[in-house]
Every structure is written in structure tokens, then in C-alpha cells.
Amino acid sequence: MDVCIVGTGYVGLSTAVGFAGHGHRVTCVDIDPRRVNDINSGRCPIFEPGMDGSMKSSVGKNLLKATLDLKAAMASSEAVFISVPTPCDDDGRMDTKFIDKASKDIAGNLSGYKVIIVKSTVVPGTTENIVKKNLEAAGKELGTDFGLCMNPEFLREGHALEDFLRPDRIVIGSTDKKAGDLVQKLYDGFNAPVLRTDIKTAEMIKYASNGFLATKITFANEIGNICKPLGIDVYKVMEGVGLDSRIGPKFLRAGCGFGGSCFPKDVQALLSKGREAGYEPKLLETVLETNAKQRKLMVHHLKSKMDLKGKRIAVLGLAFNPDTDDVRESAAIDTVQGLLEHGANVIVYDPKAMENFRKVFPGIKYASSSREALNGADACVIATDWEEFKRLEAKDFKEMKNSIVIEGRRTLDRNKVKSFEGVCW
């Protein structure tokens, strides 16, 4: 099938590369000329394990290309996916400006029947109240000129392609059977259950999933905060808890709080949508408040050990998760901010996310390796559990002035490094 994907970030590009790998002909559309150029030159514009090779291979087979020209891309496509950003606005509500603009652009270039599919995470009502309305405002008729679907994406950055290709489920919300069937056909050959719903339900499934996962992490963190002063290892506790098949072992790794491009803004947007609907979502509010406190704990623990003013503090791990270059809402941002506020001299290192972090903190020192960051440091904070940090040994910390190490994630090998303190263990 011929597919057009509008917005080629982590989700759009994974969708494009994934569908091209299944033999569909995919045209990516973006407003960023550098991104378009990178894709056409076979250079992956984001860091994602496995993406580079798969993207290059599909570009080479003429199954994947990118353009700035939406009209040309849409002309040859039966399905048009929207995967543009949906951040929160200053009031904590989902900001609709990217979806609004993309759907107006699509409406202005629509000719012949096409199915328009929202893949961005959007609060219930958005697909029908914004995308459908924009198409209708351009004189297009639902069912005749276009079909409408909502197909949420559940991938994790760092595992984006693998998650897209092997999802736990495929959710397709549609206004009518014909449009939903076309989207389902695109996923032929994927080995996953397909859930067909109406549009609003599909939109809500994504928020409910992220809200639940964020709550599960926050619960583990809270138990960790209780365990720490009692001298109990929360990781052993959660191993015992996770063996319960009603609970499961995932998302129980206690640490310095969730971040990233999805959980914080999606929980916030769901909270705002709930309030707008006349309900006060207390649980979601508490999850956000508790997480915000958790993200400040590493600096708090460090401060209880030393006056940070003028001290050289190494921060290892800047991405919000390992195996990604994405720093949006990463724990390292709160940590570096807190350290700077207390007058520390901060030196940071990350295997892949330094370029993105530099856009947030241009004025701090960037080391070219963990060892360089640790050399002469008064203390170290580990904020992301990259594999390369798991290999650090006692000798790597020897060059520090004081061997004070605060772990925000369970990273270090307990047999190799003894003098550390976990954020909640």
C-alpha cells in the first residue's frame, strides 16, 4: 500500500521504517528540511537501536523517501498518518497547534478518497473536533472524500522499531468499517491482537495506558522511599511483588522518577481533560506531584552530605532512558538545574544525548567519557542506566576526590562498586 506519514520524529520514523520493512511504499513529510535531507541520504536523524540499518535498506529499495511537499506525498497515498507533536500548553492542557496545522494542511491537499489516521497521542475528542472539523471546513465529506481513524502508538524510545514491529496490541479506532479495515490491512503480517473501537475510545486507551504505567513507577518509588530508611532493598521487594501474575514485573524499577517525551505531558493532559469534564483526578495529580519530588531527591541526598557550592559534581546519563538521545523531561535536567542553583560546578557525560542536552544547558562542562567526568569530582550522580555505566568498576571512581556516588537508577554492579547510595535504596 502507499502510505504518507506527516511528522517524522521518533514515532513517525519508526512507523515509516516499520511499514516499509513490511513492503509498503512510504513517503515521509516533515517541515524540517534537514530531517528530510537526512532520511533521503540514508542518515537516520535520531538515535534508535536498529533504525539506521533498516532505514538505509528501505531507502535503498525505494520503499522509503522523505519530502517537504505534502501535496505530492499525499497524491500517491491511500493512507495518511499524522504523527506530529502534542506537547502541553502553559495551562497543562494538550496543545493542539501542531495537530490543527497538520490537519489543515492535509485538508488543503486532499484529492480522491484517503484514510486520515491520527497516530499522535491526542486527548479524547481531538480527532473528531479538530481533524474531522478541519477536513469538513475545507469542503470534504466524511465517508466520501476521507475516512478517519485513530491508531495510538505504544512504542518506547530506545526500543522504538522493535516495539512498533512487535506490539502487544494494535488499537484501531474508526468512524466506519471501511476506514478501519484499510488501516488493519496495513498491519497484515504483524503478530498482535487487533482491537477495533470508536475514535474516542482509541484516544483514551493511550492515555489510560500511560497514566497506569506512570502510576506503577510512582508506586515503586514510593515503596522505595519507605524501604530506604528501614534498610530494606526495594529491588528485592519489587522482585517479590512482580512475581505476582496479577501485577507483573515491569515498570517496578524504583528510581529518580519518570521523564521523557510522553509520561509527564500525557498524565498532565489527562488530568486537565478530567477536570474539564468536571472530575477531579486526585490520583493523577498525586502521581505528578510525587514524581516531581522524586526527581529532586538526588540533589537532596547529595546536599545532606556536602555543601555543594564550588564543588565539582559529575552527572552521568543525560537521556531520559538508556538507548535514546532524547533528553525531554529527563531526570538529569532537574538534577543539573538543582546542582547549579546550589552553586556546584557541573560536568556531564552521556554516550548519545550530549548534543541535545547542550541545547538545554549550553554553559556547563561536557566530558568525552565517564572517566573524564569522574576525574577530580567531589561527587557523582548517575541519572540514566546506560549499559556502559553498568560496566564501571571501583577503579573508575578512584580518580574522584571523594567517592560519593548517588545512583538514580539501579546501574552499578554491587560486587564491583561498594561506596554508593541509591536514591531510594
Ligand X SMILES: NC(=O)c1ccc[n+]([C@@H]2O[C@H](COP(=O)([O-])OP(=O)(O)OC[C@H]3O[C@@H](n4cnc5c(N)ncnc54)[C@H](O)[C@@H]3O)[C@@H](O)[C@H]2O)c1
Which residues are known to be catalytic? 262
Asked if 166 and 192 touch (Cβ cutoff 8 Å), the reply is yes
Q: What is the DSSP string of 284-348?
A: HHHHHHHHHHHTTHHHHHHHTTS--TT-EEEEE--SSSTT----TT-HHHHHHHHHHHTTPEEEE
Q: In what order do the strands lie in the sheet with 405-407?
A: 365-366, 345-349, 312-316, 379-382, 405-407, 421-422
Best CA proximity match to 51, nearest among 3, 13, 82: 13
CA distance 234 to 416: 20
86 binds ligand X (CB under 6 A): yes
Cβ neighbours of residue 21 closer than 8 Å, sequence gap 6 or more: 54, 58, 165
157 binds ligand X (CB under 6 A): yes
> Residue 154: left (phi > 0), alpha (psi -120 to 50), or beta?
alpha
261 binds ligand X (CB under 6 A): yes
30 binds ligand X (CB under 6 A): yes
8 binds ligand X (CB under 6 A): yes
142 binds ligand X (CB under 6 A): no
Among 3, 5, 9, 347, interactor with ligand X by CB under 6 A: 9
Residues forming beta bridges with residue 407, ordered by sequence position: 382, 422
Minimum Å gap between C-beta 40 and ligand X is: 14
100 binds ligand X (CB under 6 A): no
Minimum Å gap between C-beta 75 and ligand X is: 16
83 binds ligand X (CB under 6 A): yes
* Residue 307 burial (10 A CB sphere; 0-12, 13-18, 19+): exposed
145 binds ligand X (CB under 6 A): no
Among 85, 92, 125, 242, interactor with ligand X by CB under 6 A: 85
32 binds ligand X (CB under 6 A): yes
155 binds ligand X (CB under 6 A): yes
- Pick the closer one to ligand X by CB: 167 or 224: 167
Which residue reads 552499578 in cell numbers? 412
Minimum Å gap between C-beta 295 and ligand X is: 19
Stretch that binds ligand X, among 54-62, 101-109, 167-175, 296-304 (CB under 6 A): 101-109
Asked if 148 and 127 touch (Cβ cutoff 8 Å), the reply is yes
CA distance 38 to 44: 6
Stretch that binds ligand X, among 78-86, 277-285, 354-362, 388-396 (CB under 6 A): 78-86
- Pick the closer one to ligand X by CB: 308 or 318: 318
Residue number of the CB atom closest to ligand X: 9
Contacts with ligand X, residue ranges (CB under 6 A):
6-12, 29-32, 35, 83-86, 98, 101-102, 105, 120-121, 153, 155, 157, 261-262
